[in-house]
Amino acid sequence: MKLNELRAHELLPMIERQEVTVEEAVTETLDRIAAIDGIIKAYITVTGERALQRAKEADARLRKGEPPRPLEGLSVAIKDNICTKGVRTTGASRYLEDFIPPYDATVVERLEDAGAIVVGKTNMDEFAMGSSTENSAMFPTKNPWNLKRVPGGSSGGSAACVIAEEAVFSLGSDTGGSIRQPASFCGIVGLKPSYGLVSRYGLIGYASSMDQIGPMARDVKDCALILQAIAGYDQRDSQSYPNELPDYTGCLIPDIRNITVGVPKEFLDEGLSKTVKDAFMKALEKLEELGAKVVEVSLPHVRHALAAYYVISSAEASSNLARLDGVRYGYRAAGCEDSASMMAVSRGEGLGPEVKRRIVLGTYVLSEENHKKYFNEALKVRSLISQDFQEVFEMCDCLMGPTSPTVAFEAGEKTRNPLEMYLSDVYTVPPNLAGIPGISVPCGFDEEGMPIGLQIMAGQYDEATLLRVAYAFEQATDFHKGRPDTQKGAHESAGGGRSV
C-alpha cells in the first residue's frame, strides 16, 4: 500500500515511530497528484516545493528527537477560498487569479502548527457559490468515481482530491452544504462544524453568518483528529465559540445503544431519488440493529429553508464581495475613464455569472422596497427553523437524513437551470441556518457505483455526539472503504468503478 492511500490515523503512528519519513509521505502524495490530477483537476495550485521543504524541516525536527505533533507530516489540501500566506488564493475567481494573501487563515496556521503540510489549493465554485464546482472560473473538477459526473460543490476539489488519494485530508468550507454535499458525491466524510466552532479568519467571506470551515477525510476518526486541531476560540473571529472543547477522538465510542435518532419526515419528501432513499432506509435499519432508537420527527419550517437561505446568503454575499472593486488588490480593468467606472468594469469583467446573479439577488432583497418583504421574512424563517431544531433536540440526540436528494449528477446537467442546482442543497441548508453541526458519511452506492451520503445533525456545539454516532455507523459498515478505480477512469476518461 502506498503512503498516500493511508488515512491520517494510520499514517501518523508510522511517522511517529519514524518508520517512514515525512518527506516520503509527502513525496508519494505529490507523485499521486502529478500522476492523476491532470484528469481529476482537483487542484488550482500545487505547492510541491514548499511542501517538500516543510517536510524536510519536519524530518529534521523528528530526528533531533523533538516530539511529533498531532498531525505531523500529513498532506493537506486547502480549499482555495482559505488564505495561505505567500501562496496564491483565488477563490476560483478571475478576480483573484493573482492574489497572494499577506497572511494565513487561522485554520492554516493551526494545521501547520500541528505539523500538517499544505500540498496545494483546491478547486471550487467561484467564491463557494455552487453545488458542482462547475462555477469555477478556472476549470471544472471531475468526480473520481465517474469522470462524467460532478464532484459536487462548492468544495468539489477538496472532496475529489481526498477520495483520489491526492491528499490525506482537506479543508472545505460550508455555507449551505458545500462540505457535506461533495463529501456525499465523492464517498468521503465531510464535517460542517457548529457556527463559531472553527475560526473564519482568513476565509473569503460568502455568507458570514453561515460560513464554516471543516474537515474532509476518508473516515470519521480522521475528521475528529483534524477538528481537534482547527477548532477552538480565536480572538480574530468575533463569532468564535469561547468555551472549552471536548476530546473529539476520545468520544469515538462505537456504542449508540442509548441514542435516540430523529428522522425529520420533511427530509423524505418528493424530490428524493429512490436509490438514495433506499440506502438511507437501510442505514436506519443498521442503526436500529446497533441499538439506537429511531423516531420520526417534524421540522415544520424547513420547507422554507432553501428560500430563506438564498435570500440571506445572497444578501450577505452582495455586501461581502463589494470589496472586490479593483482598487486595492485583484483584477483591475484597463482603459477606464475614471475610478468609478474602473470599479464597475473590474467587477463586471472579474466576476463570473453565478456570482453576479447572487450579488444582484442580494442587492435586490436588501433594497428599501424589498427589505421587509424578503430579507426580514427570511430572518423570521431562520429563527423559526432554529426553534424547530431546538425543540426536536429535546427529544433526540441527533437527526438523520440523506445528505443530498441524488447522487452526483452529470457535468452540464444543471448548469442551465440554477434553481435545479440550488435544490441539490435542500437537506444541507437547514443546519447552516440554525448554526448546528452536520456530517456526511458514506452509506451506500447506487447501481452505477456512485456513492451515497448519510447526513447526521446534532445540537449546537454537540460535535461529540455527532462524531460518536457517525463513527458507530461507519464501524458497522464498509462504505467508507470504497475507492474509485481511477486507473480505469484514467484510461477511459469516463466511468469509474467500485472497489471495496
42, 46, 77, 91: residue in contact with another protein (rule CB under 8 A)? 91
Using alpha carbons only, give the angle 354, 211, 75 rounded to the nearest 5 degrees. 95
Catalytic, out of 131, 178, 314, 318 = 178
x-marked contacts with another protein along 141-180 as a string, rule CB under 8 A: ----------------------------------------
DSSP conformation letters of 17-84: TTSS-HHHHHHHHHHHHHHHHHHH--EEEE-HHHHHHHHHHHHHHHHTTPPPPTTTT-EEEEETTB-B
Question: By CB under 8 A, what part of segment 476-495 binds another protein?
Answer: none
CB atoms within 10 A of CB 376: 13
Q: Which is nearer to another protein, 209 or 415 (CB)?
A: 209
Tell the smallest beta-carbon distance from residue 242 to another protein (Å). 10
Active site residue 154: yes
Q: Which residues pair with 332 in a beta bridge?
A: none
Instruction: Give CA–CA dist 441/456, Å, rounded.
Output: 8
Q: What b/e sequence results for 109-125 when a residue is b if at least 16 CB atoms lie within 10 Å of its CB, and e otherwise?
A: bbbbebbbbbbbbbbbb
Which residues between 228 and 247 bind another protein (CB under 8 A)? 235-239
- Helix ranges (H only) for 351-442 are 353-366, 377-392, 418-423, 429-434
Q: Does 82 bind another protein (CB under 8 A)?
A: yes
Please confirm, yes or no, whether 178 is among the known catalytic residues.
Answer: yes
**Of residues 93, 132, 136, 154, which has the active-site annotation?**
154
208 binds another protein (CB under 8 A): yes
Interface stretch with another protein, choices 98-106, 150-158, 392-400, 402-410 (CB under 8 A): 98-106
Closest separation in Å from C-beta 154 to another protein: 15
Which 3-state string (H, E, C) describes 313-374?
HHHHHHHHHHHCCCCCCCCCCCCCCCHHHHHHHHHHHHCCHHHHHHHHHHHHHHCCCCHHHH
- Smallest distance, another protein to C-beta of residue 466, A: 23
Which of 333, 366, 423, 476: binder of another protein (CB under 8 A)?
366
Our finding on whether 416 is near another protein (CB under 8 A) is no
Catalytic residue from among 41, 75, 79, 221:
79
Q: Does 273 bind another protein (CB under 8 A)?
A: no
**CA 333 – CA 317 distance, rounded (Å):** 22
Is 380 near another protein (CB under 8 A)? Answer: no
Residue 386 binds to another protein (criterion: CB under 8 A):
no
Of the candidates 202, 180, 179, the one whose C-alpha atom is nearest the C-alpha of residue 91 is: 202
Per DSSP, helices labelled H in 176-320 are 180-186, 220-230, 274-289, 305-320
Site for another protein contains 338 (CB under 8 A): yes
Amino acid at 354: E
79 is catalytic: yes
- Asked if residue 204 binds another protein (CB under 8 A), the reply is yes
Catalytic positions, written as ranges: 79, 154, 178
Residues that bind another protein in the complex, under the rule CB under 8 A: 81-83, 89, 91, 96, 99, 101-103, 105, 200-205, 207-209, 235-239, 315-316, 318-319, 322-325, 327-329, 338-340, 343, 363, 366-368, 371, 375
